[in-house]
Structure 1
Amino acid sequence: MSGDEEGTESPGGSDDDDAEPPRERKKPVVVVVEPETPGNVGTIARAMKNFGLSELKLVNPPEIPEDGEAYGFAGHAREDVLPNAEEVTFDEVVANYHTVGTTAITGEDDRSHERYPFKTPAELRESLKTVDAPTAIVFGREGRGLNNEELSRLDEVCSIPASDDYPVLNLGQAATVLLYELRELSVDETQLPDTEVTRAPENDVERFHEFFDEFLAATGARDHVREKNALLMRRLLGRAHPTEREIHSLLGTFRKANTKLDHADHLAAKYDEPVYPPEG
């Protein structure tokens, strides 16, 4: 067969070699509409820093001096998120982003023409995983939030479930809760230890159960009590998924306990003493 016929590959390799690498998802930006308190802007900037976001946009913000409360509340976000915040208009946000509005109360009911399909923060996280477009998380004013006309121009609306007696969170709290729930979209790794735990080998776990059975026998408990406690321990370890280090520590403890109990039995028999002291 010649090199031009079907079934042969060109010297350059397969077409996959020229495939573009997958495009990295762009992280959401955070927009605050007409914030009244600089401290809340700083709190939001800090929450952004905590959960891996860096682009903050402000619609008609108050003055934010570098020696003011916004920088005081921002923590390490005073170094980048806050000083790089950009002032924009609401129209620019709507025109350039897939928008998610946040609100607690809209004032609308089933008689209104416009209905808002609310998502919880967890539902929003799953929804945004499928959105391949620049996204803006839009927070409203401290006292009034986003009004109904503004909400009607946004693509999605998120509301944080809270007590019916007092459902309104302040602006900084709402931002922190929502950005925490969305962290899978913005943070690759967290500081949590032991995110992957390797369970101890099964033969070590079985050795522990053997030691525990010996320990139960040495207590002199009745057979049905020993069987019940052995089953409870097996269920407990089954749920706990102990690591190799943990199970070895337990093995050492019960090995020593069983050795001492055996020695106590030996001394009791040698000196004709009761194995267990009388119960008072």
Structure 2
Amino acid sequence: MSKPAVAVVEPETPGNVGTIARAMKNFGFEDLYLVDPPALPRESDAYGYAAQAREDVLPNAEEVSFDYLVENFHTVGFTAITNQDATRHVRFPFRTPAELSESLRDVESETVFVFGREANGLNNEEMARLDEVCSIPASADYPALNLGQAATVSLYELRDLAMDESQLPDVSVHRADEEDVERFYDHFADFLDDVDYPEEKKDKTVRMVRRILGRAHPTGREVSTLHGILRRTRQRLDD
């Protein structure tokens, strides 16, 4: 599918528009539509809050009507959880952002995510005209998020629809070579001998350290640092 667009209906403050533009830039979204926005001059908070999105997302935002969104896109309205059920269909059923990401992944459609006003979001008449409803799971005691927060959380969860793996940082674990890890275990066992560790506890302690590092998947640098700690401690003991 093509990247979904983002729309904000009657945002009240330039700062929130900038915050949303920045979140879009963070998570790979590009096209921003604004329905009846405030003035957004270069010196406004919109550009101050947008960070790097001030160079493309924000200045390229288009001012459109709500009708335009409904007529040209598959629309998803974002709202706080309202405790509605199957007997009322304005804001129910709804998907969470994670569920929405999964459901849209293989859908060929021009989609827009529609966020409402800071004070009261999208009204029921607007929600009734949208195709789907999405809501962030939040505490029943206080489910409402402010506009910038809601957009940021939602776009993070939906980032897979806008970014491919080549755009994501490499967060894979680069585990140290097994020879280096085994060499550390030998070093640690020798260290226990150097400090007169009780012989009857030695095997169990070495095994415990092996289990700890086995779960941690240490990098080469981390194993090297552990070697250095043992060497430094041994030198201090010899002083």
Q: Same fold (TM over 0.5)?
A: yes
**Structure 1 Cα separation of the partners of residues 27 and 192 of structure 2:** 49
Q: Does the Cα contact within 8 Å between 2:35 and 2:63 map onto a contact in 1?
A: yes
Cα offset, 1:260, TM superposition: 7.4
Cα offset, 1:62, TM superposition: 2.5
Q: Which residue pairs with 1:250 in the alignment?
A: 226
Query: Which residue of 146, 167, 172 corresponds with 2:143?
Result: 167
Q: Which residue pairs with 1:31 in the alignment?
A: 7
Q: TM-score, normalised by structure 2?
A: 0.86
**Structure 2 Cα separation of the partners of residues 79 and 29 of structure 1:** 17
Q: Does the Cα contact within 8 Å between 1:211 and 1:255 map onto a contact in 2?
A: no
Q: Which residue pairs with 2:122 in the alignment?
A: 146
Query: Which residue of 55, 58, 63 corresponds with 2:31?
Result: 55
**Structure 2 Cα separation of the partners of residues 252 and 76 of structure 1:** 42
Q: Does the Cα contact within 8 Å between 2:97 and 2:154 map onto a contact in 1?
A: yes
Query: CA 1:225/1:107 → structure 2, altered by over 3 Å: closer, same or farther?
Result: closer
The higher radius of gyration belongs to: 1
Query: Which residue of 178, 197, 214 corresponds with 1:202?
Result: 178
User: Is structure 2 residue 205 aligned with structure 1 residue 232?
Assistant: no
| CA displacement, residues 188-224 of structure 1 (integer Å, 9 cap, x when unaligned) | 45574x5233322222211211111121233323344
Cα offset, 1:232, TM superposition: 1.8
Q: Does the Cα contact within 8 Å between 1:211 and 1:258 map onto a contact in 2?
A: no
Query: CA 1:215/1:132 → structure 2, altered by over 3 Å: closer, same or farther?
Result: same
Q: Does the Cα contact within 8 Å between 2:85 and 2:93 map onto a contact in 1?
A: no
Q: Which residue pairs with 1:87 in the alignment?
A: 63
Q: Which residue pairs with 1:216 in the alignment?
A: 192
**Structure 2 Cα separation of the partners of residues 136 and 144 of structure 1:** 20
Q: Which residue pairs with 2:41 in the alignment?
A: 65
- Counting aligned pairs with the same residue, the percent is 60
**Structure 1 Cα separation of the partners of residues 60 and 143 of structure 2:** 32
Three-state SS of the structure 2 residue aligned to 1:118 is coil
How large is the Cα RMSD of the aligned pairs? 2.6
State the number of aligned residues. Answer: 238
Query: CA 1:66/1:251 → structure 2, altered by over 3 Å: closer, same or farther?
Result: closer
Query: Which residue of 99, 118, 127 corresponds with 2:94?
Result: 118
Q: Which residue pairs with 2:133 in the alignment?
A: 157
Q: TM-score, normalised by structure 1?
A: 0.75
Larger RCO (alpha carbons 8 Å, 6+ apart): 2
Three-state SS of the structure 2 residue aligned to 1:101 is strand
Q: Which residue pairs with 1:4 in the alignment?
A: none
User: Is structure 2 residue 105 aligned with structure 1 residue 134?
Assistant: no
Q: Which runs of 5+ in 1 are unaligned?
A: 1-24, 265-280
User: Is structure 2 residue 18 aligned with structure 1 residue 42?
Assistant: yes
Q: Tell me whether 36-45 or 63-72 shows the greater mean CA deviation.
A: 63-72
Query: CA 1:221/1:165 → structure 2, altered by over 3 Å: closer, same or farther?
Result: same
